[in-house]
A and B are shown apart, each in its own frame.
Chain A
């Protein structure tokens, strides 16, 4: 089955530690995205990538970093510089031509204490 996988579903870390969230897709999509969602809120864009080895900051990139070394993979690192890292993180992908549909993964719920 084609789709997007994110692992793990739940992640716990101590404050001050960097943590990397995994996102893999086998849809052959060029574009990939990372969103953050806080309780009762909508989604906010962290980073996006249109093609391998290229990515741009979204609305709330501070304290996060990404890489796009392979088309299938777009890992997100939450660094210790992120002031409020506890959130639900969602990865998505889409085709690069004008597209109305983003495919989302199941999300990773990160808790930092």
Chain B
């Protein structure tokens, strides 16, 4: 699986957009980009995933560069409840168990 690099921490003002970057320069053509988040002392929560195209759901938007070597997770209007560790994961999607490697992620702090 391709390795990902994320900044260890970021701050964002409440109500502003939070833009979380992820580098995955060795990504291969069949690897998806997944984003999860983990609020303190809870299990991780799936946010969004994508292969090539930009994706949007009720929680966030995922922007993947044309060369697929990096991506950005966008929380359009950050709230205090979005304070969490955000994990960017790159993985081939396959039948059966999909083992996801969770690195240390980016700790996002939303400031009032």
The number of inter-chain residue pairs (CB within 8 angstroms) is: 68
Q: Is the CB of B45 within 8 A of A104?
A: yes
Find out whether the CB atom of A105 lies under 8 angstroms from the CB atom of B43: yes
Stretch from A13-21, A76-84, A90-98 forming part of the interface with B: A90-98
Classify the secondary structure of B's interface with A: loop
User: How many chain-A residues does the 8 Å CB contact rule pick out?
Assistant: 32
A100 and B46 CA atoms in complex are apart in Å by 8
Interface residues of B (CB under 8 A from A): 32, 34, 41-46, 49, 87, 93-105
Which residues of A have CB within 8 Å of B96? 31, 50, 96
The A81-113 residues at the B interface (CB cut-off 8 A) are: 88, 90, 92, 94, 96-107, 109
Are the C-beta atoms of A106 and B34 separated by less than 8 Å? no
Would you call B97 and A48 a contact (CB within 8 A)? yes
CA distance A101 to B46 in the complex (A): 6
Give me the 3 closest cross-chain CB pairs, A-B, nearest first. Answer: A104-B43, A43-B102, A42-B102
CB within 8 A of B32: which of A33, A44, A100?
A100
